[in-house]
Amino acid sequence: MAILLSLGACAIKPPIEQKQVEGRIVCDSYIILHMCVRDLIGDGIVDMIYFSDTYEIFMYRVGMKDIVAEVMPFHQCAVPLSENMQDITNRILDRGDLSFSEELALTRDLFVNYMAAKPEIDACNARFEKENTSAEEATDDFFIEESEWDE
The 10s digit of each residue's pLDDT in 114-137 is: 888 888 888 998 988 887 776 555
Least confident of 24-33, 87-96, 112-121, 138-147: 138-147
Closest CA to 74 of 142, 151, 148, 3: 3
CA distance 135 to 75: 20
Q: Is residue 60 part of a domain?
A: yes
Q: Is residue 140 part of a domain?
A: no
Q: Is residue 17 part of a domain?
A: yes
Closest CA to 27 of 1, 56, 50: 50
What is the extent of the structural domain holding 43? 4-122
Q: Is residue 147 part of a domain?
A: no
Task: State whether residue 58 is helix, strand or coil.
Answer: strand
Q: Is residue 77 part of a domain?
A: yes
pTM over 0.75: no
CA distance 110 to 68: 22
> At residue 142, what are phi and psi to the nearest 5 degrees?
-70, -40
pLDDT band at 72 (very low <50, low <70, confident <90, very high): very high
Q: Is residue 42 part of a domain?
A: yes
Domain count, the chain: 1
User: Long-range contacts of range 102-111, CB-CB < 8 Å, 24 or more positions apart?
Assistant: 107/30, 107/31, 109/1, 110/1, 110/4, 110/30, 110/31, 111/1, 111/31
pLDDT band at 15 (very low <50, low <70, confident <90, very high): very low
Task: Report the percent of the chain where pLDDT is more than 70.
Answer: 71
